[in-house]
Amino acid sequence: MPNRINDKIRGVREVRLVGDNVEQGVYTYEEAIRIADEQNLDLVEISPNAEPPVCRVIDYQKFLYQKKKKEKEQKQNSKKIEVKEIRFGPQTDEHDYQFKLKHAEEFLKEGNKVKSYVFFRGRSILFKEQGELLLARFCTDLEHCGRPESVPKLEGKRMIVMLAPKK
């Protein structure tokens, strides 16, 4: 239970009382409980770390409902950012490069992150410089709609760069 209610609130002498039909202010714990009982409502601890702790006079079920509703709204409003991947070989042809560049541009405009990487197979790891140049060119070609989060770095057989959309 995240919020303490009524007699579960212990070790406090004074509480700051808030609520719809309550005069706000600092009351003793006993007085706050009495005020809540008179209105047939619960004393719910909102902010236990405050000095003195903040409590609200409200029906506990209504409080839980409002809290759940608020969390649901926040979840709906938050936008989920996806990471789209684009894979290159060290000797990617110009046409393939342009095709993948166009897709990356669309992803960035939609607000997604783009993880582009050059995958080295076998002895192609000798062409690290080509991969680095390819990713650097990719970043500069996408400067108008995205920005790189880091410089291209080699992780195993992959050289990776992450691009984030511009606000």
Other Cβ atoms within 10 Å of 63 Cβ, number: 17
Strand order in the sheet with 54-58: 25-28, 14-19, 54-58, 42-47
Secondary structure letter of residue 8 according to DSSP: G
Rounded CA gap, 3 and 73, in Å?
A: 20
Supply the pLDDT for residue 79.
72
- pLDDT tier, 9 (very low <50, low <70, confident <90, very high otherwise): confident
Rounded CA gap, 135 and 132, in Å?
A: 5
Q: Which residue has the tokens 């057989």?
A: 157
pLDDT digits (tens, 9 = 90+) for 52-108: 888 888 888 998 999 999 989 888 877 777 888 898 888 888 899 999 999 999 988
pLDDT of 1 strictly over 70: no
Whether 64 and 76 have beta carbons less than 8 Å apart is answered as no
Supply the pLDDT for residue 37.
87
* Run of H or E residues at 139: helix 128-141
Domains of the chain, each with CATH number or no CATH: 6-75 (3.10.20.80), 83-165 (3.30.110.10)
pLDDT digits (tens, 9 = 90+) for 48-59: 888 888 888 888
- pLDDT tier, 20 (very low <50, low <70, confident <90, very high otherwise): confident
